[in-house]
Chains A and B, each alone.
Chain A
Amino acid sequence: MTEKNKKITHRAKFSLKCFVNGEKVERDLDSSRSLIEFIRLDLGLKGTKEGCGEGECGACLVLVDGKAVNSCLMMAIQLQGKRLITIEGLKGRDGGLHPLQKTFMEEGAVQCGFCTPGLIIASEALLRENPDATVEDIKRGLTGNLCRCTGYEKVVSAVRKAQKLS
């Protein structure tokens, strides 16, 4: 829920302390600030996308304490004391490119790319939980992410390839 889905505001403020992509962040925010607004508008991190604002497309996925969550459905206040990783903070073990970013590019899994950050976050959460995921596991694990461009074939092969890399 970024600005376009915004209907109401409560003016109560709160002070948020959390970690964003490994760095400590402290901000005073309206209690009605959604997590995606905090990410896109307050932090200026534009890799997290909004495709629906209602928890149906997965374009807004981020990792909160290692779990993938729809940032359009969560309030910023729920991040209190937690660790947020957005697509910008996803790194490989050597601090360089994350294997999924590499394999999505190599396998042709990126067409328009609007769904891609969300899909990569979802895949990362999936592989963390189940490094040996089968194709079926992957397909089941990515159902929260809609992509209208690729037909998903190349997305699944990108995740398979990343499994082998890590």
Chain B
Amino acid sequence: METENLKVVNKRVLKMDALGLACGEPVFTDDVDINGMLYGRILWSHYAHARIKKIDTREAEKVPGVKAVLTYKNVPRVPHTTAGQGYPEPSPYDSYVLDNKVRFVGDRVAAVAAETPEAAEAALKLIKVEYEILPAVFDVFEAVKDGAPIIHDEEDAKNIPDAKHNIAAKFDFEVRNGDWFKDADFVVEHTYKMPYLQHCAIEPHTVITSFDHFGRLIIRTSTQVPFHVRRIVAQALRIPVKKIRVIKPRIGGGFGSKQEVLLEDITAALTLKTGKPVKIEYTRRETFISSRTRHPATVRLKTGVRKDGTITDAEMDITLNTGAYGSHALTVMMCSGSHTLPMYKVANNIRFIGKSVYTNLPVSGAYRGYGATQGFFAWESQMDIMANKIAMDPVEFRKKNYIRLGEGSPVFKAMGEGREGVEQVITSIGLYEGIEAGLKAINWHEKKKKYKNQSGQLRRGLGMACMMQGSGIPEVDMASATLKMNEDGSFNLMVGAADLGTGSDTILAQIAAEVLGVKAEDVIVYSADTDLTPFDVGAYASSTTFISGNAVKKTAEKVRGMIIAVAAKILDRKPDDLRLEGGKVVAKDGAACSLSEVANTSLYYYDQHQIVASASHYAHTSPPPFAANFVEVEVDTGTGKIAILNYISCVDCGTAINPELAEGQNDGAVLNGIGHTLSEEMEFSSNGTPLNASFRRYKIFNTADMPAIKTILIPTFEPNGPFGAKSVSEIGINGPLPAVANAVQDAVGARLFSSPFTPEKVIAAIKNLQPVS
């Protein structure tokens, strides 16, 4: 089915919750008042690495209003991972609700619940802790050496490949077709680095737990993964899954930070202890010191290239800093290779060497881009360096090498997320069109000529980068939906998919509406509640449009079949002659009945039954979206300041189910990427204490900083996607780092290998100016 005849999909449909949000409706986790609620507070470690020798809570418990104080002594000890991933999770089981050891500044020591916030604060101050301070390690290359402090020396942790050397995850793989670099005219080798970064969702993580009238635990939480939260809390607190209900209200952004059990377990433990509702919300400072971050990366990339533009060999060696716990340690590392290595054809040999290493710094986790961000910084910088080396236009060099329709890559099969991957070929790609559109929009060729011989302090340059991502995790992710019909011909769509501000509720309604021949507003979406909505792995891995979207489409098709069966009786026509259109069931000969007639018939008059269906989707491929990004910069060679004059991001996300929402996703991803390109970086003191844990000191872009960003959607049709759709949410974040690095090289001849590109680094690179090869 092509996209021409679509009525709701690929059309402008207003985001269904936008008006309520713009009017300030009370729809977020913290917007409900619960009688008798206690305030939970957590005591955070001030030490990067220490053992708790003694912990005395007696004084704290005496504070009036204090109802519970938890330490490692009175909570279950069950090794688990906080990563919200499919079961069994590929991440090591190295986390505890509370432990007798702290492993970073910001690790949990104890928790308190009290009737007032003041009492909870006062109690925290009265908890007496005696620590044995342990040597700490902050550098990944120090941490893997013999004799380095062992961060996970506990005996009950599981799935840590080499705890003695602080290795939380490792994966190597090689495709060998002869001698390494024997066909290369040039061998290029560089190392690229990215620091700790924070997601900065504007809504801090918030959890409220309580008991319902059956004595079941209700967890109201700002999460991307309601079903994983239910499973992990059950595991960590040793309570049955059936005793837990997780409710996801509206979420104030996540970007991966909420693909994690951050507070749910400890808040629940306080409710179990007190029998009362408890709320814990992160302060902004706590989100910086104790939630999750992007994995800092060191990527060494060694590639061979022939004068004719053939890439002969590629060796990618990545070391990630997973911080104190191994949440997403294996999977982010693998995605740094699995999302980048298939992008360009490599004629002979490919090798990937990956490690995630524990240090006594904050815990890294899922962050939009998920390893591909780190990987593409290296790859797309190196593509320009190789093109320069062989004196080929970098755009032509990319065009010559990128993966084509119908082609596969040995990497797809070799590298999955935490295990072997799945063989696949590219079934849709709009990269060529994306490159052409971007070249035109930024006026590449003309400006290239104009900027050729510049002098003076301000120099302009152009850069570009190409990327791919995935659409869900093939043969891992599963989503389902339930759809039921109401007597006015409207529908309730229940999905486990977690709209975290992306607009997924709206696009899922559009998909159902398209199948049912109704307007999007006739589909009422409810997401997500583990009691009421069917299973969905949650909002991550760019899976919702593709996996949940397919589940909704299948469900709607089942319901359509049921509607037609009833209508066939009403109209006395053959089912095959009927179709759904404009809120009606219409026969070939023009006879028609309304959907409300069908619903009323099924509910009240004849062969009475509820028209309702469920379906699931599980995919064998993960069709990559593709993107080509272009940027024009102006570098002040005196101050080192980079100004972004113009940013064009062309994205092939297949059919955009809702073009405006797709653009918005990409705009936001690009600006986030520009933020980490120019200014964002978490800083730490020499003893591991975060130094810039506030919006004042950790600089994210505001309206005055924003450059002109333009997203151009490149329509393609993905045969495995719902109405041709692929994913869109993550890919845009991967472009700015390499594109800007390439543009700076174009402007001033200096190459930047470590982000963010601060004025000091730019000046140093200019001073150091030696032709990079």
Contacts and interface: CB of A to CB of B under 8 A. Distances in A.
Interface of A: 3-9, 41, 44-49, 51-54, 56-57, 59, 86-88, 97, 100-101, 104-106, 108, 110-117, 120, 138-156
Contacts of B23: 47, 87-88, 97, 101
B253 to A, nearest CB: 4
A104 to B, nearest CB: 5
Contact of A146 (B26, B118, B204, B702): B702
Given A4-B283, A110-B18, A145-B702, A151 B503 contact: no
Contact of B39 (A3, A47, A148, A153): A3
Interface string B190-230: 00000000011111100000000000000000000000000
Interface in B1-41: 14-15, 17-26, 28, 30-31, 33, 39
B21 A110 contact: yes
Identify which of A4, A9, A86 gathers the most chain B CB atoms within 10 Å of its CB: A4
A101 B251 CA distance: 19
Contacts of B100: none
B535 interface: no
B726 to A, nearest CB: 20
Contacts of A45: 24
Contact of B704 (A6, A114, A139): A139
Given A56-B695, A151-B668, A152-B703, A110 B22 contact: yes
A108 B661 contact: yes
A149 B703 contact: no
Contact of A113 (B252, B694, B696, B704): B252
B668 A114 contact: no
Contacts of A100: 22
Nearest to B666: A151
Nearest to B14: A105
B765 to A, nearest CB: 28
A116 B27 CA distance: 13
A117 B252 CA distance: 12
Interface string B518-529: 000000000000
Interface residues of B, number: 61
Given A120-B22, A147-B202, A111 B702 contact: no
Given A4-B281, A7-B121, A138-B703, A112 B19 contact: no
Identify which of B25, B250, B251, B672 gathers the most chain A CB atoms within 10 Å of its CB: B25
30 contacts: A4-B281, A4-B282, A46-B28, A48-B24, A49-B202, A49-B203, A52-B284, A52-B695, A53-B283, A54-B696, A56-B695, A57-B284, A87-B23, A87-B24, A101-B19, A101-B22, A104-B18, A105-B18, A105-B22, A108-B15, A111-B665, A112-B203, A113-B252, A114-B203, A114-B253, A116-B21, A140-B703, A151-B671, A154-B663, A155-B703
B89 interface: no
Interface string B670-713: 11100000000000000000000011100011111010010000
Given A142-B703, A147-B202, A114 B28 contact: yes
B117 interface: yes
Contact of B24 (A88, A148, A156): A88
B275 interface: no
Interface of B: 14-15, 17-26, 28, 30-31, 33, 39, 116-118, 121, 199-204, 250-253, 255, 281-284, 500-503, 660-661, 663-665, 667-672, 694-696, 700-704, 706, 709
B251 A112 contact: yes
Contact of A140 (B121, B253, B501, B704): B704
A3 to B, nearest CB: 4
Identify which of B28, B665, B704 gathers the most chain A CB atoms within 10 Å of its CB: B704
A4 B253 CA distance: 19
A21 B502 CA distance: 31
A148 to B, nearest CB: 5
A16 B184 CA distance: 79
A13 B405 CA distance: 72
Nearest to A110: B18
A153 B669 CA distance: 12
A62 to B, nearest CB: 10
B298 to A, nearest CB: 26
B177 to A, nearest CB: 43
Identify which of A59, A104, A113 gathers the most chain B CB atoms within 10 Å of its CB: A113
B21 A149 contact: no
A155 B14 CA distance: 15
A72 to B, nearest CB: 10
Nearest to B204: A51
A111 B502 contact: yes
A139 B252 contact: no
Nearest to B502: A111
A148 B700 contact: yes
A44 B283 contact: no
Contacts of A152: 667, 671, 701-703, 706
Contacts of A47: 23-26
Contacts of A9: 116, 118
Given A51-B203, A52-B694, A148 B672 contact: yes
Identify which of B281, B702, B704 gathers the most chain A CB atoms within 10 Å of its CB: B702
Contacts of A49: 28, 202-203, 252
B22 A148 contact: no
Contacts of A46: 24-26, 28, 30-31
A106 B14 contact: yes
Given A87-B23, A111-B501, A116-B22, 5 more contacts: A9-B118, A112-B500, A141-B703, A142-B702, A148-B668
A140 B706 CA distance: 11
A54 B14 contact: no
Contacts of A140: 703-704
A41 to B, nearest CB: 8
Nearest to B37: A3
Contacts of B199: 148
Contacts of B202: 49, 51, 57, 59, 112, 114-115, 146-149
